[in-house]
Amino acid sequence: MKGKPRYAVSRTFSATERAQCARFRLLLMKLAILVAGVSSLMACVAVPGDPLPRPVGIGRADDGRIRFLGVLCSDERISGFTVADNKTGVPVWQMSRPGDMLQGGWITLGDSGGFGVVDIPFPAHLPENIDATVHLTNGARFGSAFVSDEVPRDIADTGRVLNLDRKQVTAEEFLEQVRDDYC
């Protein structure tokens, strides 16, 4: 027995034992898939006490350009605004250092007049799927993502916006709803 390990055992498994092993491996794989599925589902489910993110109202200016309505709570101030490609997350237009006049209210796509610094100039072409984000001085941010063609042209200069549910409401209704839910 020199050179052979003492624990080596040679055995042939029967067809019944091989079938049982195959069923056991299949059961383990199904269990692993179930655990992975439940884990990923739990990551998507809102945890009680975890509120929905604060939205930005989406409307249109009188010339048809998309505009955003950012609602601030009493102790908040805007530090910047970013429009990004929602598919890639890459910013396509970004501004910072807003003036006092811009602390809450309308921001029109392509108009950086209320901001002191344009960090990323307005592009020649916007992506179809846009993410608009308001940055606050306390480091928090809020915003909304949307497909630009889904913002109705007939709400131009009506004072109406699309809310979180993409329903048309007046700007006043949106302000009240956001302040009630988030401030």
Task: Using alpha carbons, select from 103, 114, 46 the residue that is nearest to residue 72.
Answer: 103
Whether residue 52 lies inside any domain: the answer is no
Q: What is the pLDDT of residue 157?
A: 84
Query: Same domain for 31 and 73?
Result: no
Check if the beta carbon of residue 107 is closer than 8 Å to that of residue 90: no
**CB count in 10 Å sphere of residue 162:** 23
Mean pLDDT across the chain, nearest whole number? 80
Q: Domain range spanning residue 34?
A: 9-45
**pTM of the full predicted structure?**
0.67
Check if the beta carbon of residue 82 is closer than 8 Å to that of residue 135: yes
Task: Point out the residues of the chain with pLDDT beneath 50.
Answer: 38-50
Query: Same domain for 63 and 25?
Result: no
List the CATH number of the domain containing 177.
2.60.40
Please spell the DSSP secondary structure of 95-161, one letter per residue.
Answer: EEEE-GGGSSEEEETT--TTEEEEEEPPPSS--SEEEEEEEETTS-EEEEEEEGGGS-GGGBTTTEE
